[in-house]
Amino acid sequence: MTPERWQRVKELFHDALERPADERAAFLAETCGDDAEARAALERLLDAHARADDFLETPAVGTAIEASRPPLTGRVIGHYEVRGRLGVGGMGEVYEAYDRRLKRSVAIKLVPSSDPRAQARLWREAEHASGLNHPNICVVHEIGEAEGHAYIVMEHVRGRPLAEAIPEEGLPVERALGYALQITGALAEAHEHGIVHRDLKSANVMVTPEGRVKVLDFGLARRLADSVSGPPVETSSWTMPGMIAGTLSYMAPEVLRGERADARSDVWAMGIVLHEMLTGERPFAGQTPFELSSVILSGSPRPLPSHVPAGLVVVIRKCLEKDPAARYPTAAELQAALTAPRLGRQSLGARLAASLLEWRPQGWGAPALLMIGLLLLAGLAVSPRWQRLMRLSGGGEIQSLVVLPLANTSGDPAQDYLSDGLTEALIADLGTIGSLRVTSRTTAMSYRGTNKTIPQIGRELGVDAVVEGSMARESNRVRITARLVEAATDRQLRALTYEGSVREILLLKREAVREIAGGMRARLTPRDEAHLNLVRTVDPEAYEEYLKGRYYWSKRTEESLRTAVEHFEAAVRGDPTYAPAHAALADSYNQLGTVMLGSAPPSVMRPRAAEAAIRALQIDSELAEAHATLGFIKHYDWQWAEAERELRRALELNPSYSLAHIWYANFLVCRKRLDEAVAEVRKAEELDPLSMVVLTNVGWTLDLAGRLPEAVEEYRKALELDAGYVQAHWRLGDAYARLGRYDEAAREVERAVALTRRSPSSLARLAQMYAKSGRRIESKALLDELLVLSRRQYVSPHGISFAYLLLGDDSRGFEWLEKAYAERSNGIAYLAIDPELVPWHGDPRFRDLLRRVGLPE
């Protein structure tokens, strides 16, 4: 094509763009007439423009050389017979080809050997993709050069780009999640091998007819540094100095600022793709490249629609944090977040099964279909989620469930304590089955009165089965009804009804647990069998007092804890042989002796707790709650080996006891075993994802592990569940202060002071916060108020010591720290890990204190 003819084609191309898409064919027919060459060039330009509508993705007019080149169809390059052209772009062309040696269809990407930049990109793509082995990454078979062309030969993926598979209103949540898990799996494989994609977008993801995803185009990929800030393993790139690589709509803010892309930049792009899949549009928009760049750098993403589960909204929001440090560090962690129970999703196996059931291939023989099925099953066999689906569909065991709150159908709200108590008892007993994961009480109770379906609840919590039922009491008779339901299908597995006198309530509960366990086909160890056969005898009135105590314990305020103590003490008086009442009493004493909830000195409360916990274990040596509580006591008494032994024993006896995971994580933090601590709180979060206590402790553990942005996110999630949860305000304030956001930090702690009606512990926290932010006069005023209060009520010396230290009065700070040591304040256990105390690590007084407590330096 001559330059003059090419100029005319470009003019017609721009004229065509100004017309609606459905009028362009008639326009081409009219303007080109019999000029087939010009019409073919225009059609290729329009097709390329439709596929590359983003700034920095090669514009259609930049494909002049390739668009004007005659197609290579029918040529033989190497031992590949070139067939139809699949696509064309500024850096080369892609054809379907036939491999004459291996008798198979392949895709072949070619660039002119005369273009060293395009060839370098092609070799880079081949090098990176060929080093990856993952079912969701397009396989590279060969690289070569022949007849003036450099080429790579790849797996021929039949399907269509994800960009074309997304309808205007977006994909259903389940399908979007299914695709997202596959894409993040591919990215995780790349990140694990030190490769960042740098050009992830919906146009670079193919979706096969059966719903399998393939990530393409590693041409912009670059090897990651050994760390985010370290030197790169490989620094060369096909991009020129100062050139930004990638597609603007998917480009992370740090890349736009000229910084090096890393795994977190791919996470940002994945957030864009997720938003695009769910809504049909990208989260950032602009009329010009400058406007779009400005929105990406400083604007907020478009809101997600209400049908997107809240947990998924949180994940996408984290992906699209402007600060890379606030995002998931790798695609593997993003993938883990997408599988979290609170996202409200089906299992991957269920989605793949649904995709297979919907697939209706045309013109395929039975042998071919059978072979495809076998290959798919072979590939999926290693997936735990697929295995789980196969177990359930084949009548296998259930591995996870939630017990929904038993409805009180007595018509008497005063009996709520009984229905709640029975619910908690079922959760506790089923949780002792080692092969079963049971959702914890707080999350289960959040579904009280829900109108959600069983499949919805199952998807949200990621469980195989749901137990639901009711309790009715009339005079001295009680009736329990329940049913075990397979979550994914709403199929009833077992139904049961028990009725008897209130005196037989523990026997009724035992029978219900055994029936549920039988319906689950759970693997029971001899210990499990013995536990399920055990029926504790207890005085009925004492048991009612115990259930009332549990009801008030769950409210987790100082007032409710004191009421719980009254009921537990009454239960112990009524039946001194009932071990759970002793253990619950110990838990209450422990919490009343903490500055977070109570206002009593630990030197008074902890010995009471120890006595009650030991008494519980003397009665029942396999009571998980008693071992956990004793571990808590040993931890804060600095009996480190005994504490770990008791906490681990509790988790052996009841792996689903979320508080035991939290308390063990707290212990591990003190020992500076931070990776283990994070793993433990994540287990607790999986068991109890809607618990403010759990979420706040997850945040605190991440905070102490130096992962502040993630910690802030967890604190915010806790406050979204309950804006009045004091501990989350305290912890969030501390995190903001360490981030230098002192005004926000002060507001959080001031909110805690208001919520607690100026409790001494909150005032001490605020005095510390003001000291950190330079508000010394206000800090000293609060400190004086605390000293006056300490003359007539208990004030933790630990809080006062920190205020003095932060004000620069080391002498008084260590004086009060010694008082905290003498009473074994809970905070003393965290001296070695508390980031506020780093300036004093070299002080001989501090080092001596660490030695006496037995903490690592």
Q: How far is CA 17 from the centre of its chain?
A: 44
In the block, residue with structure tokens 């283990």: 676
Cα-Cα end-to-end distance for the chain:
76
The count of other CB atoms within 10 Å of the CB of residue 415 is 17
Length of the chain: 857
Contact of 98 with 81, CB cutoff 8 Å = yes
Q: Is the dihedral of CA 386, 387, 392, 393 positive or negative?
A: positive
Contact of 831 with 852, CB cutoff 8 Å = no
Q: Which of 15, 34, 53, 199 is catalytic?
A: 199
What are the CA-CA distances from residue 588 to residues 247, 267, 441, 558, 598 (Å)? Answer: 57, 44, 17, 10, 10
Known catalytic membership, residue 199: yes
> By three-state DSSP, how is residue 775 classified?
coil
Identify the DSSP state of 137. B
What are the CA-CA distances from residue 591 to residues 564, 685, 718, 803 (Å)? Answer: 11, 21, 19, 23
> What residues contact 205, with CB distance under 8 A and at least 6 apart?
161, 162, 163, 179, 183, 213, 214, 215, 216, 273
- Spatial separation of the C-alpha atoms in residues 409 and 669, rounded to whole Å: 45
Contact of 75 with 145, CB cutoff 8 Å = no
The DSSP bridge partners found for residue 473 are 478
Identify the DSSP state of 327. S
Q: Show the 3-state SS of 635-698.
A: HHCCCHHHHHHHHHHHHHHCCCCHHHHHHHHHHHHHCCCHHHHHHHHHHHHHHCCCCHHHHHHH
Q: Show the 3-state SS of 343-394.
A: HCCCCHHHHHHHHHHHCCCCCCCHHHHHHHHHHHHHHHCCCHHHHHHHHHHC
Q: Which amino acids are annotated catalytic?
A: 199
